[in-house]
Structure 1
Amino acid sequence: MHLSPEAAARAKEAERQPLPPHEAKEWVSAKETENGQHLAEISGTEFEHALAILRKHDGDLEKAADSIFSNATADDTQGRTQEELESIANISGRGRGAGTQSADRDVIDLTGEDSPPRDARSRSRRARSNPPTDTRFRATTRSPDPAWQMVRSNQPTDVKSEDDQLKEVMQASLHEFAADEVDTVPDNEVVLREDGRPIVLRADAPGKAYAALVIQCLFNVPQVRQRCSKLHLNLVDGNLPRAGHGHEWAMWTLIEMFTALDLGVVTVFTDEELLTAWGTHTLTQTDSLAQLSKLFLAEVAAAVQSDLDNQGVEEVPNVNKLFHFKHCKVHIPVTGPPRQISDLDTGHVVTIDINPESPPNELVTRLSQTLNTYHDDDSSEHQLIQEPSEMVTFHINVNPLSSTTGGPSPEPFVFPKSIYMDQFLAVNLDLANETRASQRQIQKDLELLTTKKQNITRFEDRDVFEDLRGGIDYYENVAQCDTPERLAQLKTTATKLKNILQKFEAEVADIDEKIASLQTELDGLFDNPELQCHPYDLRSVLVHTGLPGRKHIYSYVHDKGVWWKTVDYTVTEVSEEVVLSDPAGLHLGAGPYMLMYSRRQSDAELREPVNWPPGFIQSVSENNAIFMQQLGQKSASATAAREEDMMDLS
C-alpha cells in the first residue's frame, strides 16, 4: 500500500510525537517485566527479587546484575554463595545428557534466550519442531553428583544382614579360640636365642596369655629390671617359699622369671608356676581383656612397690617411686586462688577413654581431656600429679562402635614414642593453663575458618568451583551465539562468572594461609622448655585384634634400640612406624589396650648392670647348659641321620 505524500508526512510526524500516557505506561511495564525476567534467569534468583533490584537501579540492567553478583558480605558467605551460584548448581544438577547446541540441552542457558522446557512434554514438542543439529560430544567439567553414581548391575541382592555377618565372625573366632586351648609349641621353635631378641614368656593355658604378656612387657622396662634386681627376697620360716605362701612365693617366681628372661639362651619359656603363684584369673569370653590386664598389672605393681618401700630401695635423693605417683584434684574458681578439693592419693595406671567414631583419638589430647575440665563460667577442675613416678601405664578403654556398617570410618588411636608429663604436674598449673587457653582459642579460630571455607567451596553437597568452571565453559564453548547481541551477552556472563571464581579462589587461598599459620602455632604451643623437663619414652605396647585366642593378642617391646613384636611363641623385629601405626582391631572396637612409658634414661643409665640374686643366676646357668647339651645331641643325631641317608643312597 502506498501513502500519499500528505499521509506519509502525517505518519512520520506521529512517530516523533510522545506516546499517550497510558500507552507509555504499558510499554515501560512490559520492558521492565522483560528485563526483570532476564535478570532473574541470569542470576538464578526469584523474579520478584530481581525486579526489586532492577527498580532500585532505575531499570539499569547492567548495574542490577552487578549488584546481584557482588552483593554478598564477608559475614554471610553462605548466603552470598547461594544467591550467586544457585543457577550454576542447577546447570550441572538437572541435565545429564551429552552437551549439544540444540535448544534441548542438559544445561540451563542463563541468558534466557534458550531456556529449556519445564517438563517432558514440552521437551518433546521442542525436539519435534527443532531437531538437534551439529551434535558435539565433550568432556564434562561438572563435579560428581552422588545422585548419579554408577551401580553394578551384577551386584548380588541377597546381602547378609549385620547379625548374620556378626554370627559368622563370632563362630569362626570361637573355633580358633577352641583350637588355641590345646595348642603347643613345636619343638623346632624352641631353639637357641639369637640377635639379642627377647625370650617369649608363654602361658601354659591360653586363658592366661594376657598376664604373661604383661609380665614380659614389664621386664622390658629398664627401671623395672634395675629396681627389681635390688630386692631382697624373703624366706618363710627359714625355707624357700612354696605354693600357698602368697606374696613371698609370688615375688620369688617373678624375680626368678626376670632372671631367666635376662640371661636365658632359649627362645621360649613356657610358664607353669609364676602365673599360678600370682593367682591369675583365666580370661573367659565375657571378660574384658584390657580390664583384666589392668587388674593383673595393679596387683603386680602393688606387690613390687610394697617391697621397694619396705626395703628402702628408693630412699635416695632425686629418685621417684617405680610405679606409684601422687596426685590430687584442684578447683580453680572464676576469681580467687586455686584450692585442693581432694586428698593426696597414689596411682600407677591412668585410664584413657577413647571412641573410634569421635575424634581426636590421640593420647596426649585424650589425657588432657581426662585430667582437665573447663566450665562455661571460666572455672575449672584439674587432676594434678604432685610427685611423678618412674613409670606410667595407660589403660586404653575403647568405647564400643555404635554400628558395624555405615557412617564414617573409625579413627585409629594415635600415641607418641615420647611424652612430656610436665603439663600435668602441679608445679606447672599456671603455665599449663595459659597454654591450654591459647590452644582452645586457636582451635576455635581454626573451626571458624574451616566452616567459612566450606561455605565458599561447597553448596548443596557440590563443588562450587567445579560448577563455576562448568558454567564458564558452557558460555565460552557450548552456548549458541548466532547473533552479535547473543555473543555479547554470553561473553558478559562468562566474564562475571570468571570474576566470581577469581574472588572465591583468592578468599580460599587466604583462608588456607591463615589455617596453615594457626596450625603451625598450635602444633608448637607446648614446645616450651619449661614444659619439657620430664620426658617419658614408650617401652611396651599391648594390642588386641578384637578376636579371641592367644594369637590375637600380642606385644611390642623396645630393647637396645630395636622394636620386637611377640605373637604367641614367635618374635620378629619391626620398625617404629609399624608400632605407632598398627591398625589391628580398629573395626572391631579393639587395638592398643595398654601403653607402658618410663622416664627417659641416658645411655649410661641404660647400660647400668643388673645384678640378679646369685641363686637364680646359677639356676639359669645350669638350665642353659642342659639346653645346650640337648641341642648338641639333637644336632649330632640330625647329622648322623643325614650321613646314614647319604650312605643308603650311595
Structure 2
Amino acid sequence: MQLTPETATRNNQSEREPLKPDELKEWMSEQEGRDAGTLVEITGAAFDRAVGVLRKHNGDMQKAADSLLRAADGPDPAEQQREADLKGIKEHFGHLFTDNKAASDGAGPARSNIIDLTGDDDPPTDTRFRATTRSPDPAWQLVRTQASKTADEELHEAIQASYKEFADESDDVPPDEMGLREGNRPIVLRSDAPATAYAALVVQSLFHIPQVRQRCSQLRLHLVDGNKPKTYPDWAIWTLIEMFTALDLAEIAVFLDSDMIQAWDTEPLTQGVPVGVMSKRFLEKVINVVQDDLDMQQIERGTVSRLFYFTYCKIHSPVAGAPETVFESNTGHIVPIEISPDAPPNGNALVTRLSQTFNTYHDDGSSDHQLIIQPSEMVTFEISVNAPATAPAEREPLTYPKTIYMDEFLAVNLDLANETRAAQRQMQKEIDALVARKQSISRFEDQDTFEHLRGAIDYYENIAQCDSPVRQNSPERITTLQLMATKLKNTLAKLEDEVKVIDEKISSFQTELDEVSNNPELRCHPYDLRAVLVHTGLPGRKHIYSFVQDKGVWWRTVDYTVTEVSEDVVLSDPTGLHLGAGPYMLMYSRRQSEAEMSAPVNWPPLFASGVETNNMRFHEAERAKALALAGLEESRGLDGSGDAMDLS
C-alpha cells in the first residue's frame, strides 16, 4: 500500500485514490520548494543550501533548521572532517560507488516517502561484489549469537556444580550398585570416609599391577600367638593382602572398607595439601612395609629385581676425561616430575621431563647425570604442576606414553644415551630453525602472507584496471598495473617454492630424529602403563578417579562407578587442565607376556576360603532377595494392587 499526503484532494471526497508516480513527484517538488523557502526565511541560508540540508534530513524541518543555524555560527569541525574523509574515500575507491554526482549537486530528486519494492526508479549501479582472497583480520572477528559457552563460563558452572555436589555428597551407595560383579569388571574399593578415598584408589591401582599381585601373594602372614595381628605394620600388611585377595576372587561389585584404611593409619585429606602429595605419602608407607617384608622373607633372591626399589648413582661428565662418580648408589621408588602449564609444545612430555630430571647439561660442555644401576619391577611418577610465570593462552598438558623405555637412564648406557641426546638436540635445533623460517615467510602479524599477496594480485589484475567515475585508465597506467601484478606473481611463486623446500627438509630431519630416538639398543627395557590417578581440581571423592588396565581392557573408577574406556581416553584425558590439576600419579611396570599376566595367583588359603564363603553367602542373599521380590509381585497381582486395567 502507498502512503499519500494528507493535503491531496479529489473531486469525490468520499473516495481517495493514491497519487500517480508523476503526480507524486510533482507534489513532492512543490512541497520541498515551500519547505526550503521557509528555511531560507528562518536561517538566511541560500536556497540550494536549504534544499540540500532538507534532503539530508529526509524532509525533517526541525533538524534541517537546526543544522543550518549551527552552520551560520561557524563550520562544524566534525562535519568538515567527515566531508574530507568522504572525499578521500571517493577519490581512492570511486569504482565501488554509484554515480551520485547529480545528487551531490542538489539536482537529483529528493528521497521519496513511497515504499517502493520494485526498484524501477532506482539509479543504475555498476558496483561489483567479489569474493575476497584476504585472510580475516583477527580484530574484526564476529561472535555467533548462538555460540556455545566459553571455557570460562563452563569452568565457572562446573565449579559451582561441584561445590553443590560436595556439600550434598552422601557416603551411601545406591542399593542397585551393591550387586554382583559383572563379568571381568574390576571391583570398586570404596573407603568408608570421603577424606581417605584417595588411599583406596592407590590400593586399587597397586592391585592391578601384575608384579605387585605376584609378589604379595608369596608373602607369609604374620601371626601373633596364632592369631591375627593387631599392631602396625603386621596388621597393615595383613589387611592389604586380604584386600588383594578379595579384589581378585570376590564376586561383588563394590567393596566397602574401613579396616584396611585404619590399619595403615591413613591421614585424611587436609585443606591446602594436594591430593598427589597425600597419595605419595600413603604409597611410600605401603612400599616401605611391603618391600621390607619381601626382603626379610627373601622372596626376591638372585638376579630377581626388587619390586619397588631401584638403585641409582650420580655421575659428573667433564668436558674432557673420564666420568667422575659423585656418589656410589642410593635407592629410589617414586620419581617426582614437575610440569609447567606455560611450557612450549611437547614440553610436558613425560620422557622429556624425565630426561630433564635425570640429566643436566652445562654451558661449558660438562654434564651431570643420575643413572639407574639396578632397575625395579615397578616405577611410579608423582606429577606436580608448577604455577605458570604468566597466564598462558593455552595450557600445555602432560603427555605420557603407553610404553616407556628405561634404557637411556641406565648407567651402562651413559655414552650411547649422551650421543643419542646430542644428535636429537642438533636435529631438533635444525627443525626449530626451519619452522621459524617458514613462519617468518608465511605469517606476518598473525596474518597469512600468501593470502594477502593473492589478494593484491587479484586487485591489480581485475579491479584496479577497471574504469571508475572519478578516474579513466590510460594505457600507461594499465601497463604499470600489469607489471605490478607480474612482480607480485613472481614473488609469490618464489616464496611458495621456498616453503615447499623447507617442508621437505623438516620432513627429512623428522625422519632422522625418529630413527635416532627409536634406536633398538635403547629399547630393551620396556615398562607398560598400568594405572593413572587423576584429580579434576575440585573437592569431593567424585573428583578423583583412576584408570586401571585389567586383562587388556582399560577401566575408569569414579567413586562407586566403573566404566570401560578406550586407551586414547587414558592417554589424553584433559580433565583438570584448566584448574592446574589432572593426572597426579602414573604407575608403570616391566612388560610381561600375556601368559605371565594371566597366570592364576595363589593367595593365602585363609583369605581365599573366606572370600569363597562370602561369595556363597552373597549368592544366597541375592537368590532370597529375588524370590522375595517375585513373591511380592505375585501377591500384588492376586490382591489387585498391581497396575491392572480398570474395565468398570
Regarding TM over 0.5, the answer is: yes
- Give the match for residue 135 of structure 1: 127
1:458 aligns with 2:427: no
Q: Normalising by structure 1, what TM-score?
A: 0.77
How many residue pairs get aligned? The number is: 524
Q: Is the 8 A contact 1:401 1:589 kept in 2?
A: no
Offset at residue 238 of structure 1 (A): 3.9
Tell me which residue corresponds to 1:502: 493
Q: Tell me which amino acid in the other structure corresponds to 2:195.
A: G
- Aligned Cα root-mean-square deviation (Å): 2.7
Match of 1:478 in 2: 463
Matches within 5 A, 1:400-439: 400-401=387-388, 407-439=392-424
Task: Name the % identity.
Answer: 60
Separation (CA, whole Å) in 2 of partners of 1:471 and 1:570: 60
Deviations 1:271-329 (A, max 9, x none): 0100110010001232210011011101101100000001100013x310000000111
Give, in angstroms, the shift of residue 632 of structure 1.
0.9
Amino acid at match of 1:396: I
C-alpha separation in 1, matches of 2:511 and 2:597: 35
Q: Deviations over 1:505-561 (max 9, x none)?
A: 000000011111112222232212211110111111111111111111111111111
Preserved contact between residue 332 and residue 381 of structure 1 (Cα < 8 Å)? yes
Deviations 1:360-398 (A, max 9, x none): 211111111111111111111111000000000111111
Q: Distance in 2 between matches of 1:618 and 1:401?
A: 54
What are the ranges of 5 or more consecutive residues in structure 1 without an aligned counterpart? 1-116
Distance in 1 (CA, whole Å) between partners of 2:323 and 2:91 is: 79
Q: Indicate how the Cα distance of structure 1 residues 516 and 276 shifts in structure 2: closer, same or farther if over 3 A, else same.
A: same
Counterparts of 1:212-223 in structure 2 under 5 Å? 212-223=200-211
Go from structure 1 to structure 2 and tell me whether the alpha carbon gap of 1:171 and 1:122 turns closer, same or farther (over 3 Å shift): closer
Aligned equivalent of 1:512: 503
Within a 5 Å distance, the mapping from 1:4-403 to structure 2 comes to 120=85, 123=88, 126=91, 132-133=98-99, 134-150=126-142, 172-180=161-169, 182-242=170-230, 245-316=231-302, 318-359=303-344, 360-401=347-388
1:524 is paired with a residue of what secondary structure?
helix
Name the SS of the counterpart of 2:292 in structure 1. Answer: helix
How has the CA–CA distance of structure 1 residues 477 and 118 changed in structure 2, closer, same or farther, with 3 Å as cutoff? farther
Greater CA deviation, 368-377 or 167-176? Answer: 167-176
Distance 1:448 1:119 in 2: 48
Post-superposition shift, 1:177? Answer: 2.2
Q: In the aligned structure 2, how far is the partner of 1:603 from the partner of 1:484? A: 82
Given candidates 583, 586, 596, the residue that maps to 1:592 is 583
SS of aligned partner of 2:517: coil
CA contact (8 A) 2:199 2:266 kept: yes
Query: Which of 545, 558, 565 does residue 574 from structure 1 map onto?
Result: 565
* 1:525 counterpart SS class: helix
Question: Any stretches of 5+ residues in structure 2 without a counterpart?
Answer: 1-81, 100-125, 467-472
- 447-456 or 170-179, which deviates more: 170-179
CA distance in 2, matches of 1:646, 1:601: 57
CA displacement, residues 380-438 of structure 1 (integer Å, 9 cap, x when unaligned): 111100000000011111123567xx742112211111111000000000000000000
- Cα distance in 1 between the residues matched to 2:141 and 2:524: 55
Task: Tell me the SS of whatever aligns to 1:176.
Answer: helix
1:540–1:557 contact (8 Å) kept in structure 2: yes
When normalised by structure 2's length, the TM-score is 0.77
Larger radius of gyration: 2
SS in 1 for 2:327: coil
* Aligned counterpart, 1:631: 622
Query: How far off is 1:224 after superposition?
Result: 0.3
Q: Distance in 1 between matches of 2:526 and 2:427?
A: 25
Residue type at the aligned position of 1:367: L
Give the letter aligned to residue 279 of structure 1: D
Letter in 2 for 1:441: Q
Residue 42 of structure 2 aligns with which residue? none
Contact 2:551 2:598 in 1 (8 A): no
